[in-house]
Chain A
């Protein structure tokens, strides 16, 4: 019994051995240990830890930090792909402005995504160093790590690392003798996917329901408690120390000419693949390369479709496997790179059932603030359930088209409903015949078991 318990305990891990991860090619993961233990302060400092921060504080030029980030073009790794340097350059600063906040978006809840967990559970100081650098550049006086409540291990590791950093003088007043003051608190949530939306996150941080806020004003102008606030994803912030240490040109060169984007990306694969997992790879790596690393599909299954970066991205086809997975290329194909962690759908898995599952998720997680999302998504769920049972009515598919269109970008208060619409629209576009099969079945005729029940 004991061994069974141990074997099914989940542990976050990277599938590349340490020997394959080098400082100049794997800035996010080269310090990670093969035994999966935490890179503590001593270990981190022995591996170039806090060197970038010391150099930046000695140079004493926040604007230079922002300029380097812009030049490196570090694009937001939470899924939106917005230039972090550009975001920072828009933070209100000046003698008349109060010092604001750095908020790390560690609310990793995008279905199919398990990357930030690894960075927080095994290498917390890289995130802390990235946050202090971001704070220095943006003149923030305090930082929060907004961590989803279910990441209990991340919370434990981060709390310990924050103590270590404080004791070593990397947090607190007069950091490294620079005169710069900054500290970080850990804020853990209590569920709800919408908290990952940056303005909903701010409402949640302030202790309110996580409804999104209208933009403008953007958080950089008026964020937490009305102060200038920068919200960045964990992986984005973890890129900052290496960019400061090795420069924008080096960062740009990491993609090796595969794409105009720079840097590396934590890519991953889940679904019925032989080796589901995570790898740090040059940005612009293709879906085929990632599936090869994942050992291909289980038991000779055939690939039908894939989500490139979570539930809120559009379905891609086997034909798309050789495209470089960067923000612009995937965007041009009617999808989004999103978080860059692939979800694989195999030939015999029903798109109707999968869409029903996805829309149940989005409907449940809607904050209920605006109508298309609150009322449209449950309606889509009802239609999809009927189609799944072979009880769809003529016109249902056209209605799904319309519901998805009405949830599109610009028609709702935040990106939640557009995120729900994108997989639905692409599924209807590429796999319409599967939905059509759900219409007008003779009563009583059973639908074939739509999703194989897996290995359980």
Chain B
């Protein structure tokens, strides 16, 4: 999803994205917590993502303008961090922990059951836009492995039996 130079120029020219005034205010306030406004870059991307679910290309120059930095700086950050989504995701993002403790306690089976139930693989979104399934770095819930997050909620240990009940809570 890294835009090419050409698409960037097009983005700035078309300027198809307007920051929500509340978001712009929140970003400006956040920028005040630091010596340099660039430090609010990640929070700005997360602010846009909270409203839209992901960060569209056109949001990059808009954020850059608020922070007073070049769009390339924002793009560089937006493409580095794994929890900034640069393509649309489902209403609920599932992060399945694939790190060592969960790997040793049943990650493979959990991922397989999730894939079968949702009909998607890692990195994919269900056709009804309900769930996106992503691999996650150690969630710090190793005493509850295998673990996963759905949205802000952490689950673990997750058994195949629990899974339908857990998923049901996310319409």
Contact = CB atoms under 8 A, between A and B. Distances in A.
Interface stretch (B8-16, B18-26, B98-106): B98-106
Interface string B26-65: 0000000111101111110110000000000000000000
Contacts of B143: 13, 114, 268-270, 276-278
B2 interface: no
A149 B45 CA distance: 12
B38 A206 contact: yes
A129 B70 CA distance: 38
A8 B158 CA distance: 6
A111 B100 contact: yes
A285 interface: no
A7 B166 CA distance: 10
Contacts of B161: 4
Interface stretch (A174-182, A189-197, A370-378, A393-401): A189-197
Contacts of B157: 8, 455
B109 interface: yes
A117 B143 CA distance: 12
B108 to A, nearest CB: 6
Given A192-B82, A209-B80, A354-B104, A225 B35 contact: yes
Given A205-B39, A207-B38, A349-B104, A456 B166 contact: no
Interface size, A (range)? 35 or more
Interface string A312-356: 000000000000000000000000000001011110010000100
Contacts of B142: 111-114, 268, 270, 276, 341, 343
Interface stretch (A31-39, A357-365, A383-391): A357-365
A9 B35 CA distance: 39
A152 interface: yes
Q: Is the interface of B mostly helix, strand, loop or mixed?
A: mixed
Contacts of B34: 206-207, 225
A49 to B, nearest CB: 25
A168 interface: no
A357 B100 CA distance: 7
A382 to B, nearest CB: 18
Given A4-B161, A8-B158, A207 B42 contact: yes
A117 B140 contact: yes
B34 to A, nearest CB: 8
B38 A9 contact: no
Contacts of A42: none
B83 A190 contact: yes
A268 B145 CA distance: 13
A56 interface: no
B106 A454 contact: yes
B81 to A, nearest CB: 4
B144 to A, nearest CB: 4
A120 to B, nearest CB: 10
A109 to B, nearest CB: 6
A80 interface: no
Nearest to B82: A191
Given A114-B143, A150-B136, A10 B80 contact: no
Given A270-B101, A455-B105, A113 B146 contact: no
Interface string A1-25: 1101101111011000000000000
A187 B107 CA distance: 30
B133 interface: no
Contacts of A187: 33, 39, 43
B113 A150 contact: no
Contact of A271 (B38, B104, B137, B162): B104
Residue of B42, B67, B73 ringed by the most chain A CB atoms within 10 A: B42
A167 interface: no
B84 to A, nearest CB: 5
Contact of A190 (B84, B100, B158): B84
A111 B99 contact: yes
B138 interface: yes
Given A206-B36, A208-B77, A209-B76, A113 B104 contact: no
A272 interface: yes
A281 interface: no
14 contacts: A5-B162, A112-B101, A150-B149, A189-B42, A190-B45, A190-B83, A207-B38, A210-B80, A268-B142, A311-B138, A346-B104, A357-B100, A357-B103, A367-B80
A-B pairs, top 4 by smallest CB distance, nearest first, are: A454-B106, A191-B82, A111-B99, A207-B41
Interface of B: 33-36, 38-43, 45-46, 67, 73, 76-77, 80-84, 95, 98-101, 103-110, 113, 136-147, 149, 152-162, 164-166, 168-169
Given A5-B166, A189-B81, 20 more contacts: A4-B162, A8-B166, A9-B155, A114-B143, A150-B83, A152-B152, A188-B43, A190-B83, A207-B40, A207-B67, A208-B73, A271-B104, A272-B104, A343-B101, A346-B104, A357-B103, A365-B137, A454-B106, A455-B159, A456-B110
